[in-house]
Amino acid sequence: MTHNINDRGLAVIVLAAGQGTRMKSSLPKVLHRIGGRPLVGHVIDTALALAPERVVLVVRHERDLVAGTVIEQTPGVVIVDQDDVPGTGRAVELALDALDDFTGDVLVLSGDVPLLDSDTLTGLVGAHRDGSAAATVLSAVLEDATGYGRVIRDAEGAVTRIVEQKDATPDEAAVHEINAGVYVFEAQALRAHLSLVGTANAQGEKYLTDVVALLRDSRLVVAAASAPDAAAALGVNDRVQLAEAARLLNARTVRRWQLEGATILDPATTWIDVDAKLASDVTVLPNTHILGATVVDAGATIGPDTSLVHCEVGENATVTRTDATLAVIGAGATVGPFAYLRPGTHLGARGKIGTFVETKNSTIGERSKVPHLSYIGDTTIGTGVNLGAGAITANYDDIAKHRTEIGDEVHTGSHNVFVAPVRIGDGAKTGAGAVVRKDVPAGALALSIAPQRNIEGWVESNRPGTGAADVAARARSAQKADDGSQEEDR
């Protein structure tokens, strides 16, 4: 649901300048992915649901990589570079400069808080405006608040300041109400007080949180709104928290599709990316990953033990124990078990890609079957085709790839090799073991026949002393004795 907050202007600042050293990664923290998107991508997507006038992203570490990733997802975002002055306060100060003379409310988000939802943010902005506050902080109560800034209140419950854990006294560190790193500020009050913030703290940084105490000193209203779901406030600072955020997001996504009419038998082992779509009456069996922008139509059954990445699955199709990427599976088609569909695979309606079959850059027509033990690459297959077991399209000659074209209603024998480029005409047939190097006319039977040659005694001569040689010698002796007995009978 999209919420349009239009009482007065709203701008969004997303903080994404940090390195995230606790991730122990060459990749910037905000670009680590859960649910198929980078952390910062989730944050921006949620912010856009509030229809802000402008979105500003503050970057520093791996600036080009972070900015490029975000712009690819959301082209309208304004990029601001943080200078050598460290801290969230300085980042917001620079972002405000990019907002020029904006006078509405400023929503400040951290790029590493991916579980925020639009309802939580709408409630935060609404509480801020209803309370005529200069600043409103999103808070949450956590059993383990380690690593988070604490929200400190006075005896009447009013917010007095926010203290980072490294600067907290023992009493402050014992507080379980944490700062989620999400704020709404009245723009003019924020500008006026940011210039007063110093760097006299354990980190030597210009903290945005110090603005809270300064606003209080100016007798302006500072409020805190508690997140309805504490998980929405969870930040990601290390790999443990990344995994937990991924689990919580996935549980939310799975539940959404269950409520939309999909049967998901084992939510704990089913992973669905946020951009995937499931129709009603889809059945998802255990240990299944539906990733990227995969779309599964009504009545399809996926799994168990299946991974679909950016795939399209038609109505009533069945996909079992299969890995597929950038593939299209038609209505009523059957895939697997143990199939591998590489990019560019198009399987027509009621078609089949069976056991231990690999396909790539190939179109397999309606009602056509590649049932087992085959490699089909750079191939076009017509309708009503049946390829025998062990079919191979030899598409690469060490220099270039070549295509194989197989017409309608073609039936091939087992263990065929099609040496591309080659075309098999409509209605043609091939014999078992055929190596097809030339085009086969429509309706023809293609055979690749060489006379069988038996070299008597070869094993005994070339593999003496082996078990095979011993049993062969006994069998040959028995055969000679039997032949001699038959000769005497004559």
What are the residue numbers of the active site? Answer: 372
Is residue 312 within 8 Å of 290, Cβ to Cβ? no
Is residue 108 within 8 Å of 92, Cβ to Cβ? yes
Q: Which DSSP helix (H) or strand (E) runs through 65?
A: helix 63-73
Alpha helices in 318-358 (DSSP H): none
Q: Report the amino acid identity of residue 33.
A: R
Q: Report the amino acid identity of residue 354.
A: G
User: Cα–Cα distances in Å, from 85 out to 18, 22, 90, 97, 198?
Assistant: 12, 21, 7, 15, 11
User: Cα–Cα distances in Å, from 398 out to 153, 393, 394, 401, 405?
Assistant: 72, 14, 11, 8, 20
In this structure, the strands spanning 445-446 and 429-430 are parallel
Please list the residues that pair with 418 across neighbouring strands. 393, 436
Is residue 339 within 8 Å of 355, Cβ to Cβ? yes
How many residues in the chain?
490
| DSSP annotation of 301 | E
172, 155, 147, 164: which is closest to 209 by C-alpha? 164
Tokens representing 43? 């944050």
